[in-house]
Chain A
Amino acid sequence: MKAPRIPMEELMGSGHLACQGCGATQAMRFALKALGPKTALTIPACCWAVIDGTFPHSAVDLPIYHTAFETAAITAAGIKAGLEMRGDNETTVMAWAGDGGTFDIGLQALSGVAERNDDIIYVCYDNEAYMNTGIQRSSSTPVGAWTTTTPVDNYKREPKKNMIDIMAAHSIPYIATCSVAWPEDVIAKFRKAKEIKGTRYIHIFAPCPTGWKLAPELSIQMARRAVTSHVFPILEITENGQKIEVWKDFEPTSVRDYLKPQGRFRHLTDEEIEGLEKDVEQRWQRLLAKEKMMASIPGME
Chain B
Amino acid sequence: MKKVIMGNHAVSYGVRASEVKVISAYPITPQTHIVELLSEMCAHGEIDAKFIKVESEHSAMAACVGASAAGSRAFTATSSQGLLLMHEMLHWAVGARLPIVLANVNRAVGPPWSIWTDQNDSLSQRDVGWLQIYCESNQEVQDTVPQAFKIAEELQMPVMLVMDAFFLSHTFEIVDIIEKEQVREFLPPYTPDIKIDTADQHSFGNLAGPDHYMELRYMIQEAMERGLEVIKRVDREFEEIFGRGYGVVEPYRCDDAETILVNSGTVASTTRAVIDELRDEGVKVGSLKIRVFRPFPTEEVFELLSKAKKVAVIDRNISFGAHGIFYQEIKSALYGRTDIPIIGYIAGLGGRDITPKVIREIADKAIGDENPERYINWIGVKI
Q: Which residues of A contact B (CB under 8 A)?
A: 37-40, 42, 49-50, 52-58, 60-68, 70-71, 74-86, 88, 91, 108-109, 111-112, 115-116, 118
Contacts and interface: CB of A to CB of B under 8 A. Distances in A.
Nearest to B73: A85
Contacts of B53: 116
Interface of B: 21-22, 24, 48-50, 52-56, 58-59, 62-72, 74, 88-89, 92, 196-198, 201-209, 212
A78 B56 contact: no
B203 A63 contact: yes
A78 B69 CA distance: 9
A82 B56 contact: no
Contacts of A86: 21, 70-72
Contacts of B66: 42, 65, 67, 74-82
Given A82-B22, A84-B50, A116-B53, A67 B207 contact: no
B209 A82 contact: no
B361 to A, nearest CB: 46
A53 B212 CA distance: 14
A51 to B, nearest CB: 10
A54 B206 contact: yes
Contact of A40 (B65, B68, B92, B198): B198
A82 B201 contact: no
A79 B208 contact: no
A188 to B, nearest CB: 23
Contact of B54 (A52, A85, A112): A112
Contacts of A37: 198
A70 B58 contact: yes
B68 A82 contact: yes
6 contacts: A57-B203, A64-B202, A71-B62, A78-B66, A78-B68, A85-B72
Contacts of A109: 54-56, 58-59, 62
A52 B203 contact: yes
Contact of B50 (A38, A81, A112): A81
A84 B55 CA distance: 21
Contact of A82 (B62, B71, B89, B206): B71
A70 B89 CA distance: 10
Given A63-B197, A66-B204, A55 B65 contact: no
B196 A40 contact: yes
B62 A50 contact: no
B72 A65 contact: no
A219 B22 CA distance: 43
A112 B70 CA distance: 20
A60 to B, nearest CB: 7
A67 B55 contact: no
Contacts of A77: 52, 63, 66
B198 A38 contact: yes
Nearest to B63: A78
B70 to A, nearest CB: 3
Nearest to B61: A71
Given A63-B202, A75-B62, A55 B69 contact: no
B58 to A, nearest CB: 7
A109 B204 CA distance: 21
A88 B71 CA distance: 11
B63 A108 contact: no
Contact of B205 (A61, A62, A65): A65
B206 A53 contact: yes
A85 B63 contact: no
A52 B62 contact: no
A85 B67 contact: yes
A45 B95 CA distance: 16
A119 B201 CA distance: 21
Contact of B62 (A39, A62, A68, A115): A68
A31 to B, nearest CB: 15
* In the complex, the 10 A-B pairs of residues with the closest C-beta atoms, listed nearest first: A78-B66, A82-B70, A112-B55, A82-B67, A58-B203, A78-B63, A66-B205, A71-B62, A85-B21, A82-B72
Contacts of A62: 198, 201
B58 A71 contact: yes
A70 B58 CA distance: 9
Contacts of B64: 78
Contacts of A112: 54-56, 59
Contacts of B69: 65, 78-79, 82
A108 B196 CA distance: 25
Given A55-B208, A81-B50, A108-B55, A64 B203 contact: yes
A234 B288 CA distance: 68
B207 A54 contact: yes
Contacts of B197: 63, 88
A71 B70 contact: no
A88 to B, nearest CB: 8
A75 B92 CA distance: 12
B89 A68 contact: yes
